[in-house]
Homo-oligomer: A and B are copies of this chain.
Amino acid sequence: MLPPLPGLDKFDLAILDLLQRDNTVSQREIAKTVNLSAPAVQRRIQRLRESGVIQAELAILDANRLGRPLLLTVSVRVHDEHPQRTEGMRQRIMAEPAVQQCYMITGETDFLLMISAATMLDFEDIAQRLFGGDDNVQRFQTSVALRCLKTGSYVPLA
């Protein structure tokens, strides 16, 4: 049913599923859970890091508690979505720390961004920096995230 996963066996998947939920668990505990020795787990984790299957290991913070209670979604429509014409905007997006996520998408709009902001004034500043002087931007529509029902980037591995 699923495409084959080159080089990953059930042990790797079990380890990954644990780590993407909580990476503070010790290698010994992982070892007990997946029925391997601690060094075996350690070698597999190292391999998964080097091969890039594990992209990052980090802490998720509560923006509300850090003075950034606003989360906004911005849909951007450009005149010309060719790489050369969007290069500048892509670079500004990459360089802007308040942009948490950005996807190029199909459909009505070309870019979808999730932006963290302290206030609406703060947001207008950010939007101005990102899209202000760019004549390739046709329009952008902002929505406020009233509530976050789910967050993260969990990948189902079952």
A residues in contact (CB < 8 Å) with B = 2-5, 8, 16, 19-24, 51-63, 65-68, 71, 73, 90, 93-94, 97-109, 111-112, 116, 118, 141-158
Contacts and interface: CB of A to CB of B under 8 A. Distances in A.
Contact of A58 (B60, B65, B144, B150): B60
Given A3-B67, A104-B145, A155 B61 contact: yes
**What number of copies of this chain does the assembly contain?**
2
A154 to B, nearest CB: 6
Contacts of A66: 5, 8, 16, 53, 155, 157
A146 B106 contact: yes
B152 A56 contact: yes
Q: Which of A73, A144, A153 has the most CB of B within 10 A?
A: A153
A109 to B, nearest CB: 8
A112 B151 CA distance: 12
Given A58-B60, A100-B150, 7 more contacts: A5-B67, A19-B58, A24-B57, A53-B62, A60-B153, A71-B103, A116-B156
Contact of A52 (B51, B62, B102, B155): B62
Contact of A55 (B60, B145, B154, B155): B60
Contact of A2 (B54, B67, B151): B67
Nearest to A3: B67
Given A16-B61, A23-B58, A149 B94 contact: yes
A61 B54 contact: yes
